Amino acid sequence: MIVQIAVIGAFGLIGLGVLAMVVSAVKSLAQGKQDLKRIGLMAVPFIVFGISLAALGGDYVKAGVMTTMVMMGIMVASIAITGLRGTFKF
């Protein structure tokens, strides 16, 4: 019983955190502190998850693992590109 309450509480806190981030992003965008490109960049994992979910036929677990793999691949590629750019000054 206590495990169920703890899991529900954890998901509730995660949900409140995500809601606070969305509200903060909308507020910053409305005040002109952030541009739409930076805020839109935060949507990339959700878009990748949606594509993975559609491609894998609605299996949430496999879509989550695929999203993690794709995001790690993007991270490795961006680190490599940044390193090359710094090395060759382009």
User: What domain range is 23 assigned to?
Assistant: 1-34
Identify the segments of the chain with pLDDT beneath 50. none
Same domain, 54 and 80: yes
Total structural domains within the chain: 2
The residue whose two tokens read 């995500």 is 18
Residue 3 CB contacts under 8 Å (≥ 6 apart), including other chains: none
Which amino acid type is present at position 85? R
Query: 30 and 54, same structural domain?
Result: no
Rg of the chain (C-alpha set): 18
The pLDDT value given to residue 36 = 77
Specify the pLDDT at position 35: 77
pLDDT at position 84? 85
pTM: 0.64
